[in-house]
């Protein structure tokens, strides 16, 4: 709850390794939500951490955030695997690439499939960071706009 008695809601961003795309979405979302005074906070998790992550967070994520004047040091942690408790705690869930992540949900979390918002942002094997991160940026901005509009309607 905040000081006006309103509950802060949580969005959960998911990608494969919780190293690059979902981490960017989490940090950028939190920065934008803070700028807009929204009562939302983001977390991020990975669906398959057995991928090859080199450290706690992608160099591309940190570099792009820094270019926007956004500090990422507070988010300096190693990737985390999603679990059922993470899904339960979230008010809104986004998986950043439908063709990559929907099959994982259908196999590992079949009851959650209809609660997921799917985007189509490629990982580094299919798109360069110069393409994928600006696409993520636009998706996060659109999500923030929807959530801000919902707040005005409520």
In the chain (154 residues long), the average pLDDT of successive 10-residue segments reads: 67 95 97 95 92 82 94 87 96 96 93 93 92 96 93 51
The alpha-helical segments, DSSP class H, found in the chain are 21-36, 59-67, 84-89, 98-108, 129-153
CB atoms within 10 A of CB 7: 9
| pLDDT tens-digit map of 22-61 | 999 999 999 999 999 999 999 999 998 876 677 889 999 9
pLDDT at position 108, please?
A: 93
pLDDT at position 40, please?
A: 97
Classify domain 9-153 at the CATH topology level: Rossmann fold (3.40.50)
In what helix (H) or strand (E) does residue 12 lie, and over which residues does it extend?
Answer: strand 9-15
pLDDT at position 51, please?
A: 66
Query: By C-alpha distance, which of 121, 103, 50, 105 is closest to 79?
Result: 50
pLDDT at position 151, please?
A: 59
Residue 148 contacts residue 29 (beta carbons within 8 Å): no
pLDDT at position 6, please?
A: 66
């Amino acid at each position: 709850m905040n000081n006006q008695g309103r509950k802060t809601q949580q969005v959960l961003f998911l990608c494969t390794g919780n190293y690059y795309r979902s981490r960017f979405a989490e940090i950028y979302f939190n920065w934008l939500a803070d700028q807009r005074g929204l009562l939302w906070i983001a977390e991020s998790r990975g669906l398959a951490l057995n991928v090859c992550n080199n450290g706690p967070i992608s160099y591309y994520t940190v570099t792009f955030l820094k270019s926007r004047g956004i500090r990422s040091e507070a988010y300096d942690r190693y990737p985390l695997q999603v679990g059922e408790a993470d899904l339960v705690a979230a008010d809104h869930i986004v998986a950043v690439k439908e063709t990559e992540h929907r099959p994982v949900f259908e196999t590992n979390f079949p009851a959650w499939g209809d609660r997921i918002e799917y985007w189509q942002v490629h990982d580094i094997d299919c798109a360069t960071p110069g393409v994928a991160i600006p696409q993520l940026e636009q998706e996060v901005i659109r999500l923030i706009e929807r959530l801000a509009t919902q707040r005005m309607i409520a």
